[in-house]
Chains A and B, each alone.
Chain A
Amino acid sequence: MTPGLIYALAGVALFVLGLAGVVVLNQALRRILAFNLMGSGAFLTLVGLAQRDGGVDPVPQAMVLTGIVVAVAATALALALARRLAQGGHGDG
């Protein structure tokens, strides 16, 4: 088993854990964290799978960087909404 494949499998495990979290948990903050876990899992799989032949492929790294920026923006929006909801007194977070 190559190191790249180990990363990819770890990524899949993180993704599944995160997905279970989003579906099962009911607090907004925990679900937002679980979504981040899913994202990280997908990124790890993307980088891990692309390294099978030993060399480093720059394209998935660029994709993951873009993906992280998107995930940060999405998390910020989710947190802002969750806070607004909690302040309104009707929140579940």
Chain B
Amino acid sequence: MGMAEAFLDPLPWLIVLPLAWAALAFLGGPGRGGHLAVTGLVVQLALALALAGQVLENGARTHAVGGWGAPLGIDLLADGLAVAMLLLAQVVALPLAVYARAYFSEVAQTAFWPLAGFLIAALNALFLSADLFNLYVTLELLSLAAVGLVALGGKPMQVAAALRYLLVSLTASAAYLMGVALIYGTYGTVSIATLAPLIGADPPLAAWLAAGLMLTGLLAKTALFPFHFWLPPAHGGAAAPVSALLSALVVKASFYLVLRLALDVFPALAAHAAPILGVLGAAAILWGSWQALRTPHIKMLVAWSTVAQLGYLFLVFPLLAPDGLALQAGVMQAIAHGLAKAAMFAAAGVLMLATGRDTLAGLAGVAGRVPVTLFAFGLAGVTLMGLPPSGGFLAKWLLIEAALSHGQWPWVVVVIGGGLLAAAYVFKVLRQAFLLAPEDSHFHPVPRSMEWAAFVLAAASVVLGLRGVELMALLAKGAA
């Protein structure tokens, strides 16, 4: 690759750009960051689309950072799975940036934009990493930025949730790192492509131990039941745009890593863990939905719904097969939930601003005041319930199809039951919003851009179901 070609490659720019606007936002001080972030994200979205076009046409490709290839330097890899996740990250982040500009005061924005930029840079770097150690570094960068965002408001509850989140996250990363140490000690490499054939079907004890440590660490970061305890206070207590970024993208990053490990590094070992992952996923769906039904707070409801929806992602593992159905279902669910949950948290933020309260009971009469937001909440709910034609419907349909083709019908019951529970908690919110407002209630005006940002995200999660074919074509582009 020539000098000019290497310079025009979109791959490294997807990491450099967010770092650049994050640093500039920090230096520029109050009032500058929002503009830079929105501009940067528009360019990033274009770059991600260009990269998707390249991968669709020519298959997976690598980039040696600074011209130094592995093992001395760092290789980046863009295959179908990585590009699909990159697209999700940019598509979610752009409307949320527009939303955040209206949501935060100028003072709060000085801290928000640099942290959000570092978060996006860490995410993009994570999706593009091709070795286990680089993945560790990006995972840590992601956690540090996410914890900073949770603590943003500075209220004691938020700081306590941030500290708890940080300690869980650090312990989980340390377990992952120990796994990397064992892998390097055994095989002398951390490159995913080199490791896959080395590990094989009958690996030594050290590889088993490494896989166990790495997997457990990542499950804790993904907040899979029973590691979900840190998620509701962290996601439910943070500012709305932060909750949206965390629930839509950050937990998906560690899920992406679990998927990578199961597909490319330890396929034989993951097959042994798969039934346990499936059962934990089913437990997450039931427990998360039940808690969402019980909580009186809007944002806690949305946060518990994240615990439940993450469960679907883990039903994929017992169904992974060469036909690729389960993988498609998993990625579709990750993307559909990412869009829908970002929309739901954004909508919840608007509802709380409009009513000045954070409880479901306070929602009475809000339907007439912020109809666009309520419509966005309902559309996002359509995806979570899995109704056609949404992306959530497609994901759950593929899951059911995979389960039936393997004759594992209990998963079908879980998928359908989870959809019904989701319908129950979504309608609980909508029903309350359509009640008549009490005499003494008064509503605060909310900027239009916030309402429409929530709507765009929700609409994207529904329309996604109609663009499933393109996504499947992209996923078929493995790292050949």
Residues in A with CB closer than 8 Å to B140 are 70, 74
Are the C-beta atoms of A70 and B137 separated by less than 8 Å? yes
Binds A, one of B147-155, B276-284, B455-463: B147-155
1/0 per residue A55-87: CB within 8 Å of B? 001011001001100100110011001101100
Residues in B with CB closer than 8 Å to A85 are 156, 159-160, 163
With A50-B185, A70-B137 in contact, is A77–B156 under 8 Å at CB? no
Residues in A with CB closer than 8 Å to B159 are 81, 84-85, 88
Are the C-beta atoms of A45 and B171 separated by less than 8 Å? no
Nearest chain B CB to A64's CB is how many angstroms away? 9
Specify which of B137, B166, B171 is in contact with A66 (CB 8 Å cutoff): B137
Are the C-beta atoms of A90 and B184 separated by less than 8 Å? no
Are the C-beta atoms of B182 and A45 separated by less than 8 Å? yes
Are the C-beta atoms of B185 and A46 separated by less than 8 Å? yes
A45 vs B180: C-alpha distance when bound (angstroms): 10
A46 vs B44: C-alpha distance when bound (angstroms): 36
Nearest chain A CB to B168's CB is how many angstroms away? 9
Closest chain B residue to A46, Cβ basis: B181
Residues in A with CB closer than 8 Å to B178 are 15, 38, 41-42, 45
Are the C-beta atoms of B174 and A78 separated by less than 8 Å? no
- How many residues belonging to B are interface residues under a CB distance threshold of 8 Å? 34
Residues in A with CB closer than 8 Å to B141 are 70
Are the C-beta atoms of B185 and A81 separated by less than 8 Å? no
Nearest chain B CB to A80's CB is how many angstroms away? 9
Residues in B with CB closer than 8 Å to A66 are 133, 137
A27 vs B71: C-alpha distance when bound (angstroms): 41
Residues in A with CB closer than 8 Å to B185 are 8, 45-46, 48-50, 52
Are the C-beta atoms of A82 and B180 separated by less than 8 Å? no
B269, CB-defined interface residue at 8 Å: no
Specify which of B147, B171, B184, B190 is in contact with A38 (CB 8 Å cutoff): B171
A48 vs B186: C-alpha distance when bound (angstroms): 12
Are the C-beta atoms of B181 and A81 separated by less than 8 Å? no
List B244-269 residues whose CB lies under 8 Å from chain A: none
Are the C-beta atoms of B156 and A88 separated by less than 8 Å? yes
Interface majority SS (helix, strand, loop, mixed), chain B:
helix
Most buried by A among B148, B162, B174, B186: B174
**Range class of the A interface residue count:** 35 or more
A80 vs B150: C-alpha distance when bound (angstroms): 14
A19 vs B176: C-alpha distance when bound (angstroms): 13
B188, CB-defined interface residue at 8 Å: yes
Residues in B with CB closer than 8 Å to A39 are 174, 177
Residues in B with CB closer than 8 Å to A49 are 181-182, 184-186
A38 vs B171: C-alpha distance when bound (angstroms): 8
Residues in B with CB closer than 8 Å to A48 are 185
Closest chain B residue to A8, Cβ basis: B185
1/0 per residue B124-163: CB within 8 Å of A? 0000000001001100110110011001001011011011
Are the C-beta atoms of B174 and A77 separated by less than 8 Å? no
Are the C-beta atoms of A90 and B156 separated by less than 8 Å? yes
Residues in A with CB closer than 8 Å to B466 are none
Specify which of B133, B143, B163, B174 is in contact with A81 (CB 8 Å cutoff): B163
1/0 per residue A24-42: CB within 8 Å of B? 0000100110010011011
Nearest chain A CB to B277's CB is how many angstroms away? 22
Specify which of A57, A67, A84 is in contact with B177 (CB 8 Å cutoff): A67
B170, CB-defined interface residue at 8 Å: yes
A42-B174, A45-B181 are known; give 7 further A-B pairs, CB within 8 A: A35-B171, A59-B184, A66-B133, A67-B177, A77-B166, A81-B151, A85-B160
Q: Provide 25 A-B residue pairs closer than 8 Å at the C-beta atoms, listed in order of the A residue.
A: A8-B185, A15-B178, A18-B174, A22-B171, A35-B170, A35-B171, A38-B171, A39-B177, A41-B178, A42-B178, A42-B181, A45-B178, A46-B181, A46-B185, A48-B185, A50-B185, A52-B185, A60-B181, A63-B180, A70-B140, A70-B141, A84-B159, A85-B159, A85-B163, A88-B159
Q: List the interface of chain A (C-beta within 8 A of B).
A: 8, 11, 15, 18-19, 22, 28, 31-32, 35, 38-39, 41-43, 45-46, 48-50, 52, 57, 59-60, 63, 66-67, 70, 73-74, 77-78, 81-82, 84-85, 88-91
Q: List the interface of chain B (C-beta within 8 A of A).
A: 71, 133, 136-137, 140-141, 143-144, 147-148, 151, 154, 156-157, 159-160, 162-163, 166-167, 170-171, 174-175, 177-178, 180-182, 184-186, 188, 190
